[in-house]
Amino acid sequence: MKDKQASFAEGASRDLRAPLHVGVIMDGNGRWAAQRGLPRFEGHRRGVEALRRTVRAAADFGVRYLTVYSFSSENWSRPPAEITELMGLLKFFIRSDLRTLEQEGVRVRVIGDRDNLKADIVALLDEAEARTRHNSKLDLIVAFNYGSRQEIVAAARDLAREVAAGKISPDDIDETLFASRLGTRFAPDPDLIIRTSGEMRLSNFLMWQSAYSELVFLPIYWPDFDRQAFQAALETFRARERRFGGVLESEKPKVMTAS
């Protein structure tokens, strides 16, 4: 992060109406590049810059958890050269920004499957988590090689093993226990999920966790996402009435009392 002047600490006053947890589906890098006659890689490279801006803005806006969808389990079906580029960008991002993240109070957490990642990537992810584990201003949760269905299946498998081993009974399994076996076990459910590029779907991102999330779809490509767009999404969020399956106080029928 080059622009040290606009330090995360500057905007430290937490807006109590800010969502605690924001998820972001960073979509549209390829289309952003195609629109400009540039290679897709250029779109991803500019996507990293947008990610930097977003981390800084999230900290300034008082968001406590930011989850970014960086590489989905389904992204392996892309051409090998693009996969190599995306892996390279992750390495570049961690190598170039880890020190700043560390100094600015950001805790890096990585969710997703590490089994089929190369050893050097796993080592970098481990290093990023270890070096920032004492930080508590903002958790940057990088969903890398992540798929929500895979995460849910893994949780079910873990619980099945615990039942088979006699550690728990099937009746012990409830929503809280289930959520405690997900990659996001340390974070509250996202209040808000933002997706850029105009597509309106979750694409296997935080499907368990988003049961009551507000969804905001923006008609801009990810490389164009900036502080202003983030602010606008937060304002849309604030204007929404969250009911969590209930009714608002003001909508409850009035009980007539004798006077």
Q: Catalytic residue at 27?
A: yes
Query: Per rule CB under 6 A, is residue 30 in the interface with ligand FPP?
Result: yes
Query: Per rule CB under 6 A, is residue 89 in the interface with ligand FPP?
Result: yes
Q: Catalytic residue at 204?
A: no
Could you tell me which stretch among 70-78, 149-157, 172-180, 235-243 binds ligand FPP (CB under 6 A)? 70-78
Query: Per rule CB under 6 A, is residue 112 in the interface with ligand FPP?
Result: no
Q: Are 190 and 22 in contact (CB under 8 A)?
A: yes
How far is 92 from 127, CA to CA, in rounded Å? 14
Question: Is 138 within any annotated ligand binding site?
Answer: no
Query: Per rule CB under 6 A, is residue 183 in the interface with ligand FPP?
Result: no
Could you tell me which stretch among 43-51, 146-154, 183-191, 209-217 binds ligand FPP (CB under 6 A)? 43-51
Query: Per rule CB under 6 A, is residue 203 in the interface with ligand FPP?
Result: no
Residues tagged active-site: 27, 75
Please give the residue ranges that form the binding site for ligand FPP (CB under 6 A). 26-31, 44, 47-48, 51, 70-71, 75, 86, 89-90, 93, 142, 197, 222
